[in-house]
Chains A and B, each alone.
Chain A
Amino acid sequence: QQQVKQSPQSLIVQKGGISIINCAYENTAFDYFPWYQQFPGKGPALLIAIRPDVSEKKEGRFTISFNKSAKQFSLHIMDSQPGDSATYFCAAMRAGNNRKLIWGLGTSLAVNP
């Protein structure tokens, strides 16, 4: 059973557009929700993360929106650029669980020039 469900599986956006990726989780004990960016042949790199005490966090062109009651969170990439083309993973972690990240299946984003 997938504890963190991510959608869509793939996404194509025009340069300058907004990319939106959604995740839903099951376990209400999760208290840390990061997004990772992974380029082919590279390891995942932390993009932005949020804790459930806030509903939104923005860093540059990247924003996480968090809906605790719906158990959902999303990544918005504003003014998407071809260099943003990568696979994006949402994840969740429960405090005291040895920092074990539970990952979504990933979204392959392609930004067309």
Chain B
Amino acid sequence: GAGVSQSPRYKVAKRGQDVALRCDPISGHVSLFWYQQALGQGPEFLTYFQNEAQLDKSGLPSDRFFAERPEGSVSTLKIQRTQQEDSAVYLCASADWPGELFFGEGSRLTVL
């Protein structure tokens, strides 16, 4: 079966541009997570959905970051007015409750 799919795999944006990163979780997984991984660092929690409900957004670094999962399946992470410090790999993970988290390969964002 298919794993967690993320797109685009690579995104280059000019500073100030808006970007949208997509995550297709494993079918049937109710839990969906977004993590940010800077180069040479461990992932940092951004936000968590259970179905369509965003239960925790405490890790979003600023109000420029917004995530949604309107139908409880596909999720989009949107970053407005990108800054150079936003450059990182954005990882999406999904899980059945209370099972293991399965990660996608990530979307690498480079802000010039």
Which A residues form the contact surface with B (CB < 8 A)? 6, 41-46, 89, 91, 98-106
Is there contact, CB below 8 Å, between B42 and A99? no
Asked whether A104 lies within 8 Å of B42 as measured between CB atoms, the reply is yes
B45 at the interface (CB under 8 A from A): yes
Q: Digit string of B45-62 for contact with A (CB within 8 Å is 1, else 0)?
A: 100100000011001000
Complexed CA–CA distance, A108 and B33 (Å):
24
Q: Out of B41, B95, B106, which one reaches A43, CB within 8 Å?
A: B106
Please report which residues of chain B, range 30-78, place their CB below 8 angstroms from some CB of chain A when the two chains form the complex: 31, 33, 35, 40-45, 48, 55-56, 59
Judge whether A43 and B42 touch: CB under 8 Å. no
Q: Is B4 an interface residue (CB 8 A)?
A: yes
Q: Is the CB of B91 within 8 A of A44?
A: yes
